[in-house]
């Protein structure tokens, strides 16, 4: 089997695994929709007091909310994708088996997480977004180009999201327990991705900082690309730079960790 087909099969497996949880997916759709509605109302009140906050008008703020709900599970903003499995395998030592597989550890998990993201997007993300578009005034572009641009931004966002969580998972090699890291990832994910408030609307220096962190690549930039608030190429460059940096760091950490396992005798 060619390498490409192997990883395609792994990705398909990741997709199918999540597709089997029908009730859980429906429950997730419902929850994201409810949270979306609550958030929309609070944003409307906020933008009512302060029009053009963060450079958005009300319709754009609403669009931002629903894109966020759509990407919440897709990008595993709170964690809970492949990294839990990987952490468990590292903790139990099963990881030694993975290292002897004729596949690259990082690519293997990337493929699997890509499959998961695809399912979460289609199965769980699209419906709340559609509900939002149906019941609230949104600022959706009508040209195909903007949507295509969003697609590219989302692909890069998946890479960044994976890169962050891969690093977090590998930390288990040294920490032996993922609880603390998972907690930290959850807090950073919610806050720095702009799940609670668009990063554009963060005040002063805090805003400068969060907009420079990799989490900005996850919701803020795709939203800005979709609504034409930024030059797509700028956004891509930012996302790609973080993706490359994170994936390279992951690769480095992986080789250090692998040597460690081999030295310990697996």
Partner 1 sequence: MVESLRLRDGTRELPRWREGLRAYGLIAGMWVRSSMTYRASFVITVVGNLLVTGLDFATILLMFSRVDSLGGWSLPEVAFLYGLSATAFGISDLVLGSMDVLGTRIRDGSFDTLLVRPAPVLAQIGADHFALRRLGRITQGGLVLGYALVAVDVNWTVGKLLLVPVMLVCGAAIFGALFVAGAAFQIVAQDAAEVQNAFTYGGNTLLSYPPVVFGKDFVRGVTFMLPLAFVNWVPASYVLGRPYPLDLPPGAEFASPLVALVCCALAGLAWRAGLKSYRSTGS
Residues making contact with partner 1 (CB under 8 A): 21-24, 26-28, 30-31, 33-35, 37-38, 41-42, 44-46, 48-50, 53, 177, 179-180, 183-184, 186-187, 190-191, 196-197, 201-203
CA distance 166 to 3: 21
State which residue, 92 or 142, has the beta carbon closest to partner 1: 92
Q: How many of the other CB atoms lie within 10 Å of CB of 111? A: 24
State which residue, 38 or 245, has the beta carbon closest to partner 1: 38
E-state strands within the chain: none
State which residue, 53 or 103, has the beta carbon closest to partner 1: 53
Residue 29 and residue 96 in contact, taking contact as beta carbons nearer than 8 Å? no
CA distance 202 to 194: 9
CA distance 238 to 111: 22
Closest separation in Å from C-beta 170 to partner 1: 18
Closest separation in Å from C-beta 121 to partner 1: 17
State which residue, 39 or 111, has the beta carbon closest to partner 1: 39
State which residue, 20 or 142, has the beta carbon closest to partner 1: 20
CA distance 252 to 202: 33
Angle at which helices 105-119 and 232-264 cross, to 10°: 130
Closest separation in Å from C-beta 34 to partner 1: 4
State which residue, 49 or 143, has the beta carbon closest to partner 1: 49
Closest separation in Å from C-beta 252 to partner 1: 26
Closest separation in Å from C-beta 193 to partner 1: 12
Residue 10 and residue 111 in contact, taking contact as beta carbons nearer than 8 Å? yes
Residue 169 and residue 184 in contact, taking contact as beta carbons nearer than 8 Å? no
State which residue, 9 or 196, has the beta carbon closest to partner 1: 196
Q: For residue 94, give every residue at least 6 positions away whose Cβ sits within 8 Å of its Cβ, in sequence order, or none.
A: 88
Closest separation in Å from C-beta 207 to partner 1: 10
Residue 266 and residue 94 in contact, taking contact as beta carbons nearer than 8 Å? no
State which residue, 189 or 214, has the beta carbon closest to partner 1: 189
Closest separation in Å from C-beta 159 to partner 1: 26
Residue 153 and residue 236 in contact, taking contact as beta carbons nearer than 8 Å? yes
Closest separation in Å from C-beta 179 to partner 1: 5
CA distance 65 to 71: 10
Residue 203 and residue 128 in contact, taking contact as beta carbons nearer than 8 Å? no
């Amino acid at each position: 089997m060619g390498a490409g087909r192997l990883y395609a099969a792994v990705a398909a497996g990741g997709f199918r695994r999540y597709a089997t949880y029908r009730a859980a997916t429906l429950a997730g759709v419902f929850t994201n929709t409810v949270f979306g509605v609550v958030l929309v109302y609070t944003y409307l009140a906020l933008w009512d007091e302060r029009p053009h906050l963060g450079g958005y008008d009300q319709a754009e703020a609403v669009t931002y909310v629903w894109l966020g709900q759509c990407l919440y599970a897709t990008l595993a903003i709170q964690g809970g994708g492949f990294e839990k499995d990987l952490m468990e395998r590292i903790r139990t030592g099963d990881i030694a088996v993975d290292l002897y597989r004729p596949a690259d550890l990082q690519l293997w998990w990337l493929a699997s997480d890509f499959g998961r993201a695809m399912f979460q997007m289609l199965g769980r993300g699209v419906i709340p977004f559609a509900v939002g578009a149906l019941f609230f005034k949104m600022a959706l572009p009508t040209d195909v180009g903007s949507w295509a641009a969003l697609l590219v931004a989302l692909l890069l966002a998946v890479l960044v999201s994976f890169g962050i969580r891969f690093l977090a998972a590998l930390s288990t090699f040294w920490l032996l327990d993922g609880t603390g890291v998972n907690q930290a990832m959850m807090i950073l994910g919610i806050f720095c991705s702009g799940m609670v408030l668009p990063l554009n609307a963060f005040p002063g220096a805090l805003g400068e900082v969060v907009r420079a962190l990799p989490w900005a690549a996850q919701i803020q930039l795709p939203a800005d690309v979709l609504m034409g608030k930024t030059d797509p190429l700028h956004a891509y460059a930012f996302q790609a730079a973080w993706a490359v940096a994170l994936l390279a760091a992951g690769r480095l950490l992986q080789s250090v960790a692998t040597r460690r396992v081999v030295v310990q005798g697996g």
